[in-house]
Every structure is written in C-alpha cells, then in structure tokens.
Structure 1
C-alpha cells in the first residue's frame, strides 16, 4: 500500500475512531497525524488515536498521502480552501460530511487535478461526540458512502482508500452526490425533524396537562431518541441539504394526510393495509448493518429494590469493557424493584450482556 502518511483534520468522535481503527487493523507502517485544538490532541495521543499532534494544518497535510476532513460540516469547505495549495501531487482527500453535493462541488473547484477528492459519509456516530467517545469499533458493519469522480475507474489510489475504509469494518458503497443527499434527506434528516416536531408537540400539550410526559415511555422514547441531538450540527446539515429535505417533507406530509383522510372516512381496512406495507418494508431493512441513524440494541433487566444494585450491574459490565449507551427505569414498585432498559451499540453486545447478567443470577432478556 502506498498510503503511509495519513492526516486527520478534526480528531473528535469520527476522526478519533478512524485513527484508532486504522492503528489496530492496518499492518503497514502508517503514521497518523491529527490536527485539532491542543487539549483535544493531547487526549487523542494519550488514547492512541494518533501518532503525531499538530496545530499547523499546512505542515500536517504537506507530506500526507491521505487527508481526512473530519471537522463539522460547516468547516469542511473552508478547510478545503485552506489546504488546497499545500497538498502534494497525488494526495487523496476525503471527508466524512453528511451532505455531499456542496462539498464535492467545492472540492472540484478548489483542489488541483493531481489531487484525488472522494466525498465520503460513514453512517456511524453517536448522540454524544468528542475524542473521549472515540472507539475503534465505531464503523463495524456501518455503511460508508463514497462519491468518487468518474475518472477513478482505474485509479489505484481509490482502491487503496476503499481498502482502508473496509479495514475499519465498514461496508463501502458508491453513490452520486445527488443520490446520497436525496436518500439522506428521507432516511436521516427528515426523521430528525420529525423527532423534534413530535417531542415539541407533546411538550406543549404537557404544559397544560403533565400526564402527557408521564405516559411517554418506550414507544415515544424510541421514536424521539434523536430529538436530543446537537442543534448546531443539524443547522449546518439542514442548510446544506434544504432542497432535498423540503422534497422529502412534502412526500411525508402527503402520506400523513392520506392517513388522516382514512381516519376521517373510518377506512380501517386501508389503515390495516398501511400497517402491513410498513411492516413488510421494515423487515427488508438489513439487521446486521448500521445505517444513517444507527439503532441501539436494548436489554431489559429486573432490578432489585436495594442500595448498590445499579453500581453492581455497571461494574459487572465495565469489567467486561461493555459500554452502556442509554438507560431508563421503565417500571418501579417500592419494596419489589422494577425494570430497567439498557441500550447498547449492537445486538451482539446486547446478547453478551444478557448472558453475563443471567450468569450473575439476574433476570435479563431482549425482545429479539
């Protein structure tokens, strides 16, 4: 492999996880340089995500064979302009932004013909970011969209980039920038807006009747899990992909109006057919891969009503290096205990948790 020097600009959750994944899977002698704020770089080096820390972007990219732009979406295009003159001929540049049309267009206008730019978007992440959350397994079974230019058909550099991405455990697929943004609008960006809208609707109802949120348990929490996402990050996404998002919202609004009309007409047969279509469609979603919005795998466990129970369970899982991503007390009765729902990265982890908890004498199960 000719890629020996990799520079990652932006060593947060995604950039840091990339560094960790490559350092644990790439056997060749690869040097990874990170560019970010000093405190972030200090933690990135300490955690093993990067080999070299740099606060000088120009120097960091000058000798790089591969440059990864892992900054927030709003900074990717300005960073492209900043580094264009410092890239050596033959360098590969890619990004991890969640909107592709404006980024790919800007790259083609900015960097020279001797540099290969490939738009990229790994469908993996977390509601909480930062280098401290970085994991070498973040991209395992994730879909990674690549938007290569038409000229990459026989380009060895592109093949090496794909190999590096596959080394993280991700599954690379090719799309045009336009296709990516249209698909992302429907399966990622609109669901985010729907979660926010539903949460705010119920929140306003709750202002006059607090029973709304008292009854908002499992199903409501599942539908609105992403409503707590970072508004600043989403502002950039909505601005960059607003055309496709507006089109997708129009389609959803029309579907919602059809549901409303069937209710007005008391056409429960058609509503039943709608449920059937939705179930069959959902069953075709790959269960072994992460998509634009990565689902969490839930484990339900009965909790004894005694001091230290939560600490004991957390310690049991921590000793196995298993991270609890979310936890909710669903039911509780004084003197007898209750039921906790704990969420994990994937079904394999959830199954391992159930086995460990059962071995420890606890009642635990999944719904799968």
Structure 2
C-alpha cells in the first residue's frame, strides 16, 4: 500500500513514522519546504518526498492532509482535480469538521472516499524534528464520516490507524465533534487569551499586575501562548458553534456577576461548589485537546545551590526536567520550586524520588 502525507510537520511526520514502523505502507510526503522533505527522508520519517502534489498522491491508497485547518479546503479542492486511484481514502487531521462535510459527495462520485479525522494529541514542540511514533498512543483519534460513507471504508481506515497509531478510535458525527471540541478547546483558548489581554491593559497603568501574575494566573492562562494564526483559522472554521458556546459562557458569567452584585453568598458558594465537584470527577490525565501540564511543587530551604541540587538529583536518576522556576523565595524563608515535565511518567518518578530524598512535594491534578 501507499500512503501520502500532505504536510510533513509534527502531526504529519508522526503519522508517517507510525505507518512506516507498524504497517506495510510505503509513505510519500508532500510539503512546500524542500528542506523539510530532505530532512524527513534523511531521518527515515518518510520514504520519499515531493513538492509536486500530483507526484506525491500518485497511486496512493490513503491520503492524509496534515496541514493547518485554514488550508485544508484549498488542498481538498486541488485534490478534487487530481487523478486519484479508485478506492483511495482521503482523511485529514484538522480540529474542525462541519465545513468539510461537503467534500464527501464530490469525491464519492469519483470512487474516492473522504473521511474527516482528528487525532487528539499534540506536543509542546513543533515541526517534523519533533515527530515520533508514540505521539498518538492511547490518545483519542476521532473519525467523522458522513452518513453516506460505506461502513467498509470506515473500517478500512480505522483498521489502518488502529494498527499504526495505537490510538483509541472514536466514530462521531462531524457537527457534534465541532461542538465538543469548541467547548473543551476553542472556548478555553478564547477565555484564557481574553483574561491575559484584560490584565495586560491593567498593567499598562500599574506594572504590579504583571509582577504578581505568577503561579495560578500563569497556569490558568498557559494556553494563551498558542500560535495566533493557527487559532485565528480554527475560530473562523468553527465560528458557528463557537458563537453559541460564547453566548452560553456570557450567560453563565452574567449569573455570577448578578450574584456578586446582590451579595448572594449562597449562590456564589454554590457556583464554586459545583465547579469543584465537576472538576474532581474529570478523567485522570490523558492525551487530549489541551496539552497536559505535568508539574509538581517542592519546598526547599533558602540556601545557596538548592535549585542546582534538585536538578542534579533528578538528572542523576535520568528524569528529564523541561522547566524549573521559583514560585516563592523570600529571604530567610522557605522557597517553592515549580518543576515541569513533558511526560507523566517523569512526573511520577520525580515525585517518588524527591519524597524518598526527604523533600516535601505537592502535585495537583
């Protein structure tokens, strides 16, 4: 079989590695950057690469569009004009699906099947250099076929992806998918960015807003540092669902505002009690739309070399520490180190090892 990966970045490159390592697929890559293609071939991410779309998809049994969501319609339009193999299956990895449903019928008339796809996994790094074959393992991988899509074609694609990615395959209506990801990913990005912008305006008049905006504020707004162009395109592609969700959010905030204005302590307490109840019942950390933050906090005495000592202890145990910072450090008082890890396994090992070494370690899910 031949699989063509259109867009050889983090997601496309990782999918290519999965297919190469675990299936019999010959993997061809298409990208606008020759440098990216050369690197991907040299690193064994793809078997061959081309900047010519027709050449990349020739005789392909599967075509995966791993490009930014804003460019997927244009690429689908170009594929519609290509000579594709009968029985070919086209899929994508974009985070919105509703606007892409219309492509199912034109392709179906040509003996080609289009099935939307969305692997709910990512990385704090980007580019093909960060690609690896374990990126999707145990993550949810959503497929959004149209009602007219033959079950045999859905099974063919899901079987290949199951074998290659080791992800948890889920079949979902495309419009239901867009509402779901709008609520758990798109809306949170808007809220986090809005909060950062609001505090930023306050800081223009009083710099203490940013000086004291550490700890919880940074954690709460971490996702506001995401790529602006990417999120512009995502919101534009899902604006119908997002506008409904934002109306619901504004209504919820209006209720809280009214309770505060009236001094209704019971309503305010109920708001936080319900949130706490629901938050504690969320599933354990797993791969999903929002990148997880694997972090813990360590009490350390105010002594020279303590930060280096903790980092050295973790390094000696082979535990990869991706970031470290001082949460609180006043003279003659204990400080608090914030340790950040890329993998949950590293976090668990660090907590266990530091506890055994006599440190007080705290972690919050």
TM-score (norm 2): 0.88
Aligned mates of 1:249, 1:93 — CA distance in 2: 32
Could you say which residue in structure 1 is the equivalent of 2:111? 114
Is residue 87 of structure 1 aligned with residue 57 of structure 2?
A: no
Secondary structure (helix, strand or coil) at the match of 1:86 reads coil
Could you say which residue in structure 2 is the equivalent of 1:187? 184
* 8 A Cα contact 1:120 1:147, kept in partner: yes
C-alpha spacing 1:219/1:152, structure 2 compared with 1 (3 Å)? same
Secondary structure (helix, strand or coil) at the match of 1:150 reads coil
* 8 A Cα contact 2:97 2:174, kept in partner: yes
* 8 A Cα contact 1:123 1:294, kept in partner: no
* 8 A Cα contact 1:141 1:288, kept in partner: no
C-alpha spacing 1:75/1:209, structure 2 compared with 1 (3 Å)? same
Secondary structure (helix, strand or coil) at the match of 1:284 reads coil
* 8 A Cα contact 2:8 2:66, kept in partner: yes
Could you say which residue in structure 2 is the equivalent of 1:305? 304
1:187 Cα deviation after fit? 1.5
Of 355-364 and 8-17, more deviation after overlay is shown by: 355-364
* 8 A Cα contact 2:59 2:84, kept in partner: yes
The aligned length equals 359
1:327-363 C-alpha deviation (Å, 9 max, x unpaired): 4331235688843323334533310233455677766
C-alpha spacing 1:114/1:310, structure 2 compared with 1 (3 Å)? farther
Aligned mates of 1:316, 1:54 — CA distance in 2: 44
* 8 A Cα contact 2:101 2:146, kept in partner: no
Could you say which residue in structure 2 is the equivalent of 1:227? 224
Aligned mates of 2:315, 2:38 — CA distance in 1: 28
1:268 Cα deviation after fit? 1.3
Measured on the aligned residues, the alpha-carbon RMSD in Å equals 2.6
Could you say which residue in structure 2 is the equivalent of 1:137? 134
Aligned mates of 1:289, 1:217 — CA distance in 2: 25
Could you say which residue in structure 2 is the equivalent of 1:61? 57
TM-score (norm 1): 0.88
Unaligned segments of structure 1, at least 5 residues:
none
Secondary structure (helix, strand or coil) at the match of 1:53 reads strand
Unaligned segments of structure 2, at least 5 residues:
none
Could you say which residue in structure 1 is the equivalent of 2:212? 215
1:153-192 correspondence to structure 2 within 5 Å = 154-155=151-152, 157-167=153-163, 168-192=165-189
Could you say which residue in structure 1 is the equivalent of 2:48? 52
Aligned mates of 2:134, 2:100 — CA distance in 1: 27
C-alpha spacing 1:341/1:236, structure 2 compared with 1 (3 Å)? same
Of 163-172 and 301-310, more deviation after overlay is shown by: 301-310
Which residue of 66, 70, 79 maps to 1:70? 66
